[in-house]
């Protein structure tokens, strides 16, 4: 079986296949993966990723094992790696993991039989978010190649930005960043920083990010964030008519994005959430079939 830890492990063919298979799973309810088991390990809070992975597993006919971090031996000090080895020994086929640290790096020397899927790990990566974002763009524009995507906000602390850049660059998309000086990073290569007011008039996709206060060493407020870096009413009016607005959620209304933008027909945030189920079905399916692209369900 295969694992999905980073977008970097996927080639263009596999990304295209995952997106195609996700599209074919949009209306699928069946038993394609009946007999397989999955456990969801969420060490950090989540609404959409946790629920959509659960829904994805149900719609493939998988058995979902009940596991709550609060009721587990993690609370007695058991490490993530020891927890994973225990779950593996029980015979679970697949573990979906969200945590605030770097379990992917810790796993390098661990031998596990089960598949692992990264459901968001610290500031490292959030690969299924990038895949569902790509599916949403592909549905709207027909293809990804040639698009310009501006990602705005707390880039430095964003696993979503990292996974999106890695995926979108592979697919021929121009990615640019905008936002406060304090949230710049040198760790993501080949992305130009641009003026938001210029970018908002030109971009196909405006992807707004939440400020990740929980990952900052110290809390400090940027004065008038909404006016300077938010998708406010003035910038909404400057956007192209055929452009779309994305946000991975959760949203801080009237901080990074205004109420009017949330209600605008160009806002695809709930489409992203819906696509999250189909993308996660495709990822679970891909892992369980060993990372091959034998198609299970026809579009
Ligand atoms: N986009 C995302 O990861 O949202 P949740 O934290 O609600 O899962």
Residue 217's pLDDT is 67
Kindly report the protein residue whose alpha carbon is nearest to atom 1 of ligand 1: 248
Residues 244 and 281 grouped into a single domain? no
For residue 35, the enclosing domain spans: 7-125+276-288
97, 26: one domain: yes
Residue 107: what pLDDT? Answer: 72
Q: Are β-strands 63-65 and 94-99 bridged in parallel, bridged antiparallel, or unpaired?
A: unpaired
Judge whether 299 lies within some domain: no
Ligand 1 centroid from CA 123, angstroms: 13
Which pLDDT does position 108 carry in this prediction? 62
Q: What's the burial of 236, exposed, middle or buried (CB within 10 Å: 0-12/13-18/19+)?
A: buried
- Our count of domains for the chain comes to 2
Could you tell me if 112 and 150 lie in one domain? Answer: no
DSSP letter assigned to residue 181: G
183 and 247 co-located in one domain:
yes
Q: Do the domain assignments include residue 120? A: yes
Residues of the chain falling short of pLDDT 50: 295-299
**Both 42 and 175 in a single domain?**
no
Q: Rounded distance, CA 94 to CA 120, Å?
A: 16
Residues with CB under 6 A from ligand 1: 46-50, 120, 129, 248-250
- Residue 166 shares a structural domain with residue 57: no
pLDDT of residue 102: 62
Looking at the fold, whether 227 and 203 belong to one and the same domain comes out as yes
Residue 199 CA to ligand 1 centre (angstroms): 26
Q: Give, rounded to a whole angstrom, the gap between the first and last alpha carbons of the chain.
A: 24
3-state secondary structure 93-114: CEEEEEECCCHHHHHHHCCCCC
pLDDT digits (tens, 9 = 90+) for 37-86: 999 999 999 999 999 999 999 999 999 999 998 899 999 999 888 999 99
CATH number reported for the structural domain that contains residue 242 in this entry: 3.40.50.1370
């Amino acid at each position: 079986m295969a694992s999905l830890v980073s977008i970097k492990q996927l080639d263009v063919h596999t990304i295209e296949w995952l997106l195609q298979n996700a599209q074919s799973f949009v209306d699928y309810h069946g038993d394609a993966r009946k007999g397989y088991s999955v456990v969801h390990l969420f060490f950090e809070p989540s609404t959409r990723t946790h629920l959509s992975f659960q829904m994805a597993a149900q719609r493939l006919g998988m058995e979902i094992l009940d596991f709550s971090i609060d009721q587990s031996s993690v609370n007695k000090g058991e490490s993530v790696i020891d927890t994973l080895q225990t779950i593996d020994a029980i015979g679970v086929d697949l573990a979906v993991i969200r945590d605030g640290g770097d379990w992917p790096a810790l796993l390098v020397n661990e031998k596990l039989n089960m598949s692992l899927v990264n459901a968001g790990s610290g500031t490292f990566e959030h690969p299924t978010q990038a895949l569902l974002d790509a599916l949403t763009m592909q549905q709207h524009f027909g293809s990804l190649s040639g698009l310009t995507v501006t990602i705005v906000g707390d880039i430095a602390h964003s696993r979503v930005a990292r996974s999106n850049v890695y995926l979108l660059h592979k697919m021929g998309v121009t990615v640019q960043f905008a936002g406060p000086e304090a949230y710049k990073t040198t760790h993501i290569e080949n992305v130009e920083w641009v003026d938001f007011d210029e970018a908002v008039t030109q971009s196909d996709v405006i992807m707004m990010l939440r400020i990740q206060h929980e990952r900052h060493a110290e809390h400090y407020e940027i004065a008038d964030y909404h006016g300077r870096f938010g998708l406010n009413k003035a910038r909404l009016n400057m956007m192209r008519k055929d452009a779309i607005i994305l946000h991975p959620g959760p949203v801080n209304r009237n901080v990074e994005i205004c109420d009017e933008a949330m209600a605008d027909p160009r806002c695809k945030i709930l489409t992203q959430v819906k696509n999250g189920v189909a993308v996660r079905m495709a990822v679970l399916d891909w892992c369980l079939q060993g990372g091959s692209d034998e198609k299970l369900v026809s579009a």
